[in-house]
């Protein structure tokens, strides 16, 4: 049978097979008046007319290339060198699916191996996988991993972990009877403060999850946290916010993380309406058999030449089925290759420069905005490239009025933090020249 | 290979042998041969309780990974930590240095229901 067409004879043959006379009978359960509603469509357009119409609609969109962008909250408008897109567009990378007969795809495996090596460097840990869906699912997988390793059933999340990451963690553990405790965020003395996560840890806690820099841009002092968490028999998971921060700040491994994750979007991936991106994930070597997802390994072939394989596959779903470390861990190989290209092109010095500039611009903006009457920077210092500003009006209203002035200005946080209604989260990158920041400051002054 | 007569066997290819006041558990020669080169053995922690018929660990070879099933219920009193660095001992010497865990039995009559060496050999067609 040919599946690509539906000629009347084929339709008749199918209906005969299932014992139905006319196709309409298949819709008998749909109320008659809902079956064929009048659509009242305008007359059909020609291709030429349709293109013009759609072009006009598309022109009404505004992108970060049109207006100054100060939006962050998990997605950052960093610059990606053109070569990143060209490398991702190579057909051998762009059109290939996950290698199910992996060893024939030496190029893809080598790219995965290079990516993992870079992730190990960035996150400061010795074992990395070939990526998971995104930063949020990486945190979800880290929590499940900690639960398997400790055989405990409580999880402590810092309240300053991205609200959407926390939501994904909730989805991941919902059916497993895992309890989630979240530290409270408060606004006191004009600065954000957070309940001590350690106060929520008990003998049933599998792991503590903190974000660095956190959702409000704050670079947390994590000294001593890892030891304190380990003393209580739990593991420390550190999720990195804007990953370019790793160009200047200590890595999760250096802070003593057992498992580290990051959203890879900042590292050369387009914003593309919120994804697809890639989740970075690494852990200490003794935990590698609980690390989900694909792992490329380097080896030598029969003749002693360097080659690459998928390694530790016995953790994976094609072998372990329902007992696999994860069944929701598809790697984002193409996007991981983009990250590899970005990091290779910038090198450590380039990444440091991106981080230094992003930070310097945020410091400049904070000084100017903090000096405006009615505004106050309430993210504790030090911050990286993002901070929460207390605004005279609700964050939503300020955002709306700035949009009228063609400024993509920040994210109100009141949906997730009702106590922070008069607040706007502002982010800065190397792509914001001083003139744009000055324009934002003047717009805020004039509200 | 002959299966030693001084112990009992399970249909899942584990062996269990009485030793002083406890029992030693491992996998059979047939099992290690079917698995191929063993690269990793994940064992429980001392003090863990295991249930007869439930998984107490995982054994991983170059071609697959399988659960290890407890022949009887009890408390783990020792694990063979040499297997962390020398998992190939399970291939080389499954009935002696390749042992996996030692259990204090909850109910030692459970062992009576397991297979003898002769019955197990019959099961595996050897």
Residues A358 and A326 in one domain: no
- Which tens digits make up the pLDDT trace of A239-296? 999 999 999 999 999 999 999 999 999 999 999 989 999 999 999 999 998 999 999 9
Q: What is the pLDDT of residues A289-304, one digit of tens each?
A: 899 999 999 999 999 9
Task: Give the model's pLDDT for residue A427.
Answer: 98
d(CA A284, CA A112): 19
Residue B56's CATH number: 2.40.50.100
Residue pair A225/A255 in contact by the 8 Å Cβ criterion: yes
Which residue in A has a C-alpha nearest to residue B60's C-alpha? Answer: A314
DSSP-derived 3-state class of residue A190: coil
Q: How many domains in chain A?
A: 2
Min distance B5 CA to chain A CA atoms (Å): 33
Residue whose entry in the numeric block shows the structure tokens 């072998």: A319
Helix residue spans in A268-370 (DSSP H): 317-320, 333-370
Contact B65 A289 (CB under 8 A): no
Question: Phi and psi of A154, rounded to 5°?
Answer: -125, 150
Q: A353 and A236 in one domain?
A: no
A84: enclosing H helix or E strand: helix A82-88
Residue B125 lies in a domain: no
Read off the CATH number of the domain in which A381 is found: 3.90.1150.10
Contact B76, B105 (CB under 8 A): no
Mean pLDDT computed over A160-165: 98
Query: What is the signed CA dihedral for A335, A337, A341, A344, rounded to 10 degrees?
Result: 120
Domain boundary among A317, A342, A367: A342
Residue A113 falls inside a structural domain: yes
CB-CB neighbors (< 8 A) of A320 in chain B: 65
In this structure, of A99-108, A225-234, A423-432, the range with the lowest mean pLDDT score is A99-108
B23 DSSP β-pair partners: B18, B103
Is residue A8 situated within a structural domain?
A: no
Domain count for chain B? 1
DSSP 3-state assignment of B44? coil
- How close is the nearest chain A Cα to the Cα of B86, in Å? 16
Q: Is residue A7 part of a domain?
A: no
Tell me, yes or no, if B64 comes closer than 8 A to chain A by beta carbon: yes
First to last CA, chain B: 8
Write out chain A residues lying below 8 Å of B41, CB-based: none
Q: Looking at the complex, report in whole angstroms how far the Cα of residue A311 sits from the nearest Cα belonging to chain B.
A: 10
Q: What is the span of the domain harbouring residue B31?
A: 8-120
State ipTM: 0.74
* Chain A / chain B CB contacts < 8 angstroms: 13
Name the residue among B42, B64, B67 with its Cβ closest to that of A319: B64
pLDDT of B1:
61
pLDDT exceeding 70 applies to what percent of chain A? 99
Report yes or no: A407 and A70 within 8 Å, Cβ to Cβ.
yes
CATH number of the domain residue A199 falls in = 3.40.640.10
Cα(A10)–Cα(A8) distance, integer angstroms: 5
Judged by DSSP in three states, A334 sits in helix
Would an 8 Å CB–CB cutoff place B42 in contact with chain A?
A: yes
DSSP A311: -
Please indicate whether, in this complex, the C-beta atoms of B65 and A314 are within 8 angstroms of each other: yes
Task: Inform me whether the C-beta atom of residue A323 falls under 8 Å from chain B C-beta atoms.
Answer: yes
Per DSSP, the three-state class of A315 is helix
Kindly indicate the confidence band of residue A142, based on its pLDDT and cuts at 50, 70 and 90. Answer: very high
From the number of C-beta atoms within 10 Å of its C-beta (0-12, 13-18, 19+), residue B16 rates as buried
pLDDT band at residue A317 under the 50/70/90 scheme: confident
Residue with tokens 């067409």: A5
Our measurement of the distance from residue A45's CA atom to the centroid of its chain's CA atoms, rounded to an integer in Å, reads 40
Q: Which domain holds residue A358?
A: 348-445
Is B40 part of the contact surface with chain A (CB cutoff 8 Å)? Answer: yes
Rounded to a whole number of angstroms, the distance from the CA of A289 to the nearest CA of chain B is: 9
Question: Distance, in angstroms, between A335 CA and closest chain B CA?
Answer: 30
């Amino acid at each position: 049978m040919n599946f690509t067409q539906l000629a009347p004879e084929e339709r008749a043959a199918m209906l005969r097979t299932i014992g139905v006379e006319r196709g309409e009978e298949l819709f008998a359960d749909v109320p008659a008046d809902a079956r064929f509603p009048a659509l009242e469509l305008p007359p059909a357009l020609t291709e030429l007319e349709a293109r013009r119409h759609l072009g006009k609609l598309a022109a009404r969109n505004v992108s970060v290339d049109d207006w100054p962008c100060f939006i962050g909250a998990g997605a950052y408008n960093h610059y990606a060198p053109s070569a990143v897109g060209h490398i991702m567009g190579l057909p051998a990378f762009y059109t290939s699916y996950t290698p199910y007969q992996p060893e024939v795809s030496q190029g893809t495996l080598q790219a995965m191996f290079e990516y993992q090596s870079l992730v190990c460097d960035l996150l400061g840990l010795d074992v990395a996988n070939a990526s998971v869906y995104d930063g949020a699912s990486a945190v979800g997988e880290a929590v499940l991993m900690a639960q398997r390793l400790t055989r405990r059933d409580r999880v402590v999340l810092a309240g300053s972990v991205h609200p959407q990451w926390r939501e994904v963690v909730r989805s991941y553990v919902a059916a497993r009877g895992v309890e989630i405790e979240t530290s409270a965020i408060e606004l006191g003395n004009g600065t954000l403060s957070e309940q001590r996560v350690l106060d929520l840890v008990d003998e049933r806690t599998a792991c503590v999850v903190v974000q660095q820099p956190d959702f409000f841009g704050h670079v947390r002092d994590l000294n001593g946290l890892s030891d304190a968490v380990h003393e209580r028999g739990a593991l420390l998971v550190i999720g990195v916010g804007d990953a370019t921060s790793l160009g200047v700040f200590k890595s999760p491994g250096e802070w003593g993380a057992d498992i580290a994750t990051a959203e890879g979007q900042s590292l050369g991936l387009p914003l593309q309406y919120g994804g697809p991106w890639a989740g970075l994930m690494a852990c200490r070597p003794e935990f590698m058999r609980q690390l989900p997802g694909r792992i490329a390994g380097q080896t030598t072939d029969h003749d002693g030449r360097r080659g690459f394989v998928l390694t530790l596959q016995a953790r994976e779903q094609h072998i372990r089925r329902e007992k696999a470390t994860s069944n929701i861990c598809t790697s984002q190989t193409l996007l991981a290759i983009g990250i590899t290209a970005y990091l290779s092109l910038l090198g450590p010095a380039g990444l440091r420069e991106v981080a230094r500039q992003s930070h310097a611009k945020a410091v400049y903006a904070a000084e100017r905005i903090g000096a405006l009457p009615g505004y106050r920077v309430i993210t504790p210092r030090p911050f990286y490239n993002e901070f929460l500003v207390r605004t005279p009006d609700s964050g939503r209203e300020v955002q709306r009025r700035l949009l009228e002035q063609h400024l993509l200005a920040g994210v109100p946080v009141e949906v997730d933090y009702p106590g922070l209604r008069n607040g706007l989260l502002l982010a800065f990158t190397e792509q914001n020249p001083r003139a744009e920041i000055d324009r934002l400051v003047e717009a805020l002054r004039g509200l | 290979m002959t299966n030693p007569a001084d112990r009992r066997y399970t249909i899942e290819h584990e062996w269990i042998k009485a030793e002083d006041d406890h029992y030693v558990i491992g996998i059979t020669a047939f099992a290690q041969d079917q698995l191929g080169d063993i690269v990793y053995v994940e064992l429980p922690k001392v003090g863990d309780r295991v249930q007869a018929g439930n998984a107490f660990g995982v054994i991983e070879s170059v071609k697959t990974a399988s659960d290890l099933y407890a022949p009887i219920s009890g408390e783990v009193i020792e694990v063979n930590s040499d297997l962390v660095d020398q998992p190939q001992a399970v291939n080389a010497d499954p009935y002696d240095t390749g042992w996996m865990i030692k259990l204090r039995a909850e109910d030692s009559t459970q062992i009576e229901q397991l297979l003898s060496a002769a019955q197990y050999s019959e099961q595996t067609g050897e």
